[in-house]
Amino acid sequence: MTEKKSMKEKKSAAELKALIMRELRQHPEWHDIEDVAITSPARPHEHPNWDAAFTMSGPRSAPEGAFRFARELGAKFDLA
């Protein structure tokens, strides 16, 4: 079985985190998000090779828009 190489630009976890945190700060309604961690789950090559996990300041889930933005970045960038 041949492994396919991704043609997406590669970014470090720190770079991906910085991009996400910059976007989060542009949305005052997402103020409960305190931090984001970039994780690298094992997945088939056709899926992004990283995930974003959000740390919240209270007992609520991260807004869907934050996850949507992370998915958009996952479509553009691979974790280096």
pLDDT digit string (tens) for 27-56?
Answer: 999 999 999 999 998 777 778 899 999 999
Distance CA 47, CA 44 (A): 6
79 has pLDDT over 70: yes
Nearest to 39 by CA among 28, 29, 49, 31: 49
Predicted pLDDT at 3 = 54
Residue located via tokens 């970039």: 38
d(CA 78, CA 57): 28
Task: Find where tokens 């974003």 sit.
Answer: 52
Predicted confidence at residue 45, as pLDDT, reads 74
Phi-psi region of 72 (alpha: psi -120 to 50; beta: other; left: phi over 0): alpha
Q: Which sequence spans correspond to the domains of the chain?
A: 9-79
- Which residue(s) pair with 51 in the sheet? 39
